[in-house]
Structure 1
Amino acid sequence: MGNTAVVVGGGIGGLAAAIGLRRIGWEVAVVERASMLGDAGAGISLAANGLRALDGLGVGAAVRAASRGQYSGGTRTPEGRWLTRMDGAALERAVGTPIVGIPRSTLHGLLRESLPAEALLIGSEAGPVEQIDPGTVRVTCGGTVLDADLLVAADGIGSKVRGDLFPAHPGPVHSGSSVLRAVTGQAVDLRTDFELTWGHGAEFGHIAFQDGRAEWHAVLGLPVGTRFADPLAELRRRFRTWHDPIPALLDATGPAAVLHHDINELRTPLPSYTVGRIVLLGDAAHAMTPNLGQGACQALEDAITLAAALATGPTVEAALARYDVERRPRTQAVARAARQAGRMGQQLSHPLAVALRNTAMRLTPSRAATRMILRHHAWVPPRLN
C-alpha cells in the first residue's frame, strides 16, 4: 500500500484527516487556497463522538483543556419560559464527557499545531484532480505538481472535487434559512453554558466559552442571498422583546464581528464517497444543516475512520471501500435527522404548530431526551494502530 496523500482543504475535517494519516505513517500535504488558515469565525459545540475522535487523533486533551463543558441550559421560548432543560451531568455519566464549547479559531489552531509547518501549503489553489494511473492521483497547485497515492477532498460544501467526480449531482441547495453569528468582544454574565430559543421562524442561541466570552447565533428564514446593511441593528430590532441575555449578547458584540451565511446542505445523498483513489470527507461528502450540532463531529469521525481503514486495509482501494461502507450510511442518517430537527425547530412558524411543538417538548421526560441525544453521541471510534 502507498503512503503519500494530498488533502485538499485546510478546515477542521481536512486538518484532522492529515493528523490521522500522519499517525499511521503517511506523508501528507494539505492544500488550502486561503492565505491564512481558519483563525476566524464563531464558536462550535463538540459532542462525545467528536471528542472521542479527537482523542484517537491525539489532540483530545488539548481541546478539552481549551473548552467549557455544557452542563446547564436548554431550550426556551422568546418570553424566557423553559421548554427543556439540559442535564449535562447526566449526559456525561452516559457517555463519559459533556458537550463542550470552544471558539472555532482555537480548535483550528490546535489541529494546525499538530502538523509540521511544511505539510501546510497555504494560499495554494488546487487545480483539477487527475487519476493518471490506477495507483496515482495528481493535483496541480499553482506551478507545483503533486502526485500521491491518495487524495482526500475536504474542500467543503462547494467542493470542486465532488463536482468533478459527480457532475450529474445537483450539489448543495439552500435550506430556507440563514445564520448570523459572532463572538462577543468581551465577557458576558451568563447563567447557562448553552441555550437555544425558538420563536416563530427564528432561533437565537449562545455557547459560553472558557474565558467568559460567548458565541451567539441567530437563524432566520430568509431568501437565499439576503443581506442587511447593518446586521447588528437588524438583529436588535428583531429580537428586542426576547428574554435576557439575548440583548446583552448583542450589546457585547462589535458590528464588524457579525458573520452572515446562507445555510446550505447536500439534500441529495451521494451514491459513494470514493472514486478510485479519491475520497470525500466532511462537508464535501455530507454537508448538513447545523440543527444537531454534528457537522464538525461527523467530519472528525470521517477523519479517524479513514486513517484506521488505511492502517489495516490490504490495499488503498479496499480501505476506501470500507470507509464508504462505514461512513455513508451514518452521515446521511445524521444529515436527515438534522434536516428534520430544523423543520420541527426554527423553521416552524405557524402559531398552532409552534404551540403543539412546545407542548410536546415540555412533556417529554428528560431521560427520553437524553436517549435521543445518545443516538448520535454514543459513537466509538476505531483504534489507530
Structure 2
Amino acid sequence: MSGYAVVVGGGIGGLATAIGLRRIGWEVTVLERAAVLDDMGAGISLHANGMRALDALGVGEAVRRAARPQYTGGTRTPGGGRLARMDGAALERALGTPIVGIPRAALHRALRAALDAGCVVTGAEVTAVDLSDPRRARVSTAIGSGSGGSTREADLVVAADGVRSRLRALVAPGHPGPAYSGSTVLRAITDRPLMLASDFELTWGRGAEFGHIAFADGRAEWHAVLNSPPGVRFPDPLAETRRRFGGWHAPIPALLDATRPGAVLHHDIHELVTPLPSFVAGRLALLGDAAHAMTPNLGQGACQALEDAVTLAAALAAESGPGRRRTASQPGAAPGVDAALVRYDAERRPRSQAVARAARQAGRMGQRLSHPLAVALRDTALRVAPSGVTVRAILRHADWTAPRLTPPTAAPGS
C-alpha cells in the first residue's frame, strides 16, 4: 500500500516529513511558498532526540558530517563568571550521541538531498484545503504570479507551515493563534572562523541573553535575546547589539567584530501559549511550529518537529494493512490513515505540549528575569546546583526513542 500526501511548507519539519513518508512507500509533494530556497537562517543545536529522528529518516550521518559536536560550554554571567557547566561527554555516554551544532542551511541541504528532484515545488501558494470528503483532501494552489493555479487530491495533507500557519484554523477554528513571548532575538553567523574556547555557551544578564554555537568550519552562530515590546526594529542591528553586549565577556566582542552588518537577522519570538485541542482534523495533520510553536529556551523546537515527522510516518506504516498500490493520480481511502492520525495525535500532542511548557518556564527563570534580586537568586541557584543537574535537565527532554520506519507489506499479488 502507498498513499499520496501533500506537505505544506518546505522547512525542517516539512522536508523531514516528506523523507519519512517516502521511506514508508508514499508519494509526496512538498509545496513551499517561497519562490527561491535561499537557505537563510542562522544556526541550530540538535539534541539526541533530534539526531535519533534523523537517523530513523536515514540522514543522521550526513548531518553529523556537516555538524560539530558540543562537548564544552555552559552558562556565564556578563562578566564571565561561571554559572553552570555543560558536560557534553556525559550526555553522549547517556544518550549515545552528543548535541551537535549546524548551520540551518546545511541541515536544509542534507534534508533536500534525501528527496527526489521535483518533490519540492517552490513558489506554490496554498490558497485552500477542502476537507469535506472524509476519504481525501483537496489542495488548491496558486503557482507564481499570474500563472493560474491547480488542485491536488491527496490521502493526507500535512501542515508544516510554521508558527503563523494558515491551515491551523481548519483544526482549531477558535484558537487565538501565536502570542508574543516578550522577547526578541537578533542573530547572525560570523563571516570568518574564530578561535573559540567552547562549543556552545549562554550568558545571562538582566532581561538579556547572548549565546553562541561553534560550527565545524570554525565559524559560529551568535544570538542576542532581549526583553522588548513587539515590533521594535533598529536602524543598525549590529550596532545596537554592540551597544547592548559589547562590554560583556570574551568572546562576545570578537563574535560581533567578525559579523557583517547586513548578516544580522531580527525576529520577535512567538509561541502557542494556548495548547491546541488536537493536531488533526479529517485528512489534515499539523506538524512542527504549526502544531506547537515554542520558545527556543530548551533548543527543542526543531527536534520536536523531527519527532513529529518520524512519528507520523511510523503511525501510517503501522496502521496501514496490505492493500493495492496506488499512484498520486488515484488517491482516496488509503487504508489506516484515519487510525494513524488518531495515533499521531495521541503520541505527539502530550509530549510536544509538555516540552513547550517547559521551554516557556525555562525562559521565565532564565533570560526573561530582569529584577536584580531575582537575577541574583537565579545565579546563586545555578552556582550551587550539583554538576549533574544540567545533564538531567537535558535528558528529561532529549531521551526519546525513534520508531523504525518500514514500509507496510503489500498483499500477495498486489
Instruction: Give me the TM-score of the superposition, normalised by structure 2.
Output: 0.92
Counterpart position of 1:23: 23
Counterpart contact for 1:11–1:38, Cα < 8 Å: no
Counterpart position of 1:92: 92
Counterpart position of 2:260: 254
Give the 3-state SS of the residue equivalent to 1:138 in structure 2.
strand
Per mean C-alpha deviation after superposition, the further-off stretch among 336-345 and 161-170 is 161-170
Deviation at 1:368, TM superposition (A): 2.3
Deviation at 1:166, TM superposition (A): 1.8
Q: Which amino acid is 1:373 matched to?
A: I
Let me know the Cα RMSD of the aligned residues: 0.9
Aligned equivalents of 2:214, 2:24: Cα separation in 1: 35
Residues 266 and 307 (structure 1), Cα distance of their counterparts in 2 relative to 1, 3 Å cut = same
Counterpart contact for 1:13–1:281, Cα < 8 Å: yes
Q: Which amino acid is 1:197 matched to?
A: T
Counterpart contact for 2:171–2:278, Cα < 8 Å: no
**Deviation per CA, 1:173-218, whole angstroms, max 9, x where unpaired?**
0000000000000001111000000000000000000000000000
Give the 3-state SS of the residue equivalent to 1:37 in structure 2.
coil
Asked if residue 193 in structure 1 is aligned to residue 178 in structure 2, the reply is no
Counterpart contact for 2:272–2:294, Cα < 8 Å: yes
Q: Which amino acid is 1:125 matched to?
A: E
Counterpart contact for 2:171–2:279, Cα < 8 Å: no
Q: Which amino acid is 2:390 matched to?
A: A
Counterpart position of 1:284: 290
Counterpart contact for 1:2–1:149, Cα < 8 Å: no
Q: Which amino acid is 2:190 matched to?
A: T
**Deviation per CA, 1:95-141, whole angstroms, max 9, x where unpaired?**
01110000000000110111112111111101110024111101111
Asked if residue 103 in structure 1 is aligned to residue 124 in structure 2, the reply is no
Correspondence for 1:184 among 190, 198, 216: 190
Counterpart contact for 2:170–2:281, Cα < 8 Å: no
Deviation at 1:163, TM superposition (A): 2.2
Of structures 1 and 2, the larger Rg is shown by: 2
Counterpart position of 2:327: none
Aligned equivalents of 2:174, 2:141: Cα separation in 1: 26
Deviation at 1:40, TM superposition (A): 1.4
Counterpart position of 2:383: 362
Give the 3-state SS of the residue equivalent to 2:28 in structure 1.
strand
Aligned equivalents of 1:263, 1:38: Cα separation in 2: 22
Aligned equivalents of 1:368, 1:196: Cα separation in 2: 16
Aligned equivalents of 1:38, 1:44: Cα separation in 2: 17
Give the 3-state SS of the residue equivalent to 2:124 in structure 1.
coil
Q: Which amino acid is 1:113 matched to?
A: A
The 5 A counterparts of 1:63-102 are 63-102=63-102
The 5 A counterparts of 1:239-318 are 239-314=245-320, 315-318=336-339
Asked if residue 350 in structure 1 is aligned to residue 371 in structure 2, the reply is yes
Counterpart contact for 1:10–1:31, Cα < 8 Å: yes
Per mean C-alpha deviation after superposition, the further-off stretch among 238-247 and 31-40 is 31-40
Instruction: Give me the TM-score of the superposition, normalised by structure 1.
Output: 0.99
Aligned equivalents of 1:378, 1:136: Cα separation in 2: 36
Give the 3-state SS of the residue equivalent to 1:361 in structure 2.
helix
Counterpart position of 2:234: 228
Deviation at 1:167, TM superposition (A): 2.1
Counterpart position of 2:158: 152
Asked if residue 213 in structure 1 is aligned to residue 219 in structure 2, the reply is yes
Give the 3-state SS of the residue equivalent to 2:131 in structure 1.
strand
Give the 3-state SS of the residue equivalent to 2:201 in structure 1.
strand
Which 5+ residue runs of structure 1 have no aligned equivalent? none
Give the 3-state SS of the residue equivalent to 1:249 in structure 2.
helix
Per mean C-alpha deviation after superposition, the further-off stretch among 261-270 and 163-172 is 163-172
Give the 3-state SS of the residue equivalent to 1:206 in structure 2.
strand
Deviation at 1:239, TM superposition (A): 1.0
The 5 A counterparts of 1:133-144 are 133-142=133-142, 143-144=149-150
Which 5+ residue runs of structure 2 have no aligned equivalent? 143-148, 321-335, 407-414
Correspondence for 1:334 among 332, 347, 355: 355
Counterpart position of 2:412: none
Aligned equivalents of 1:145, 1:300: Cα separation in 2: 28
Aligned equivalents of 1:342, 1:372: Cα separation in 2: 14
**Deviation per CA, 1:266-306, whole angstroms, max 9, x where unpaired?**
00000000001100000000000000000000000000000
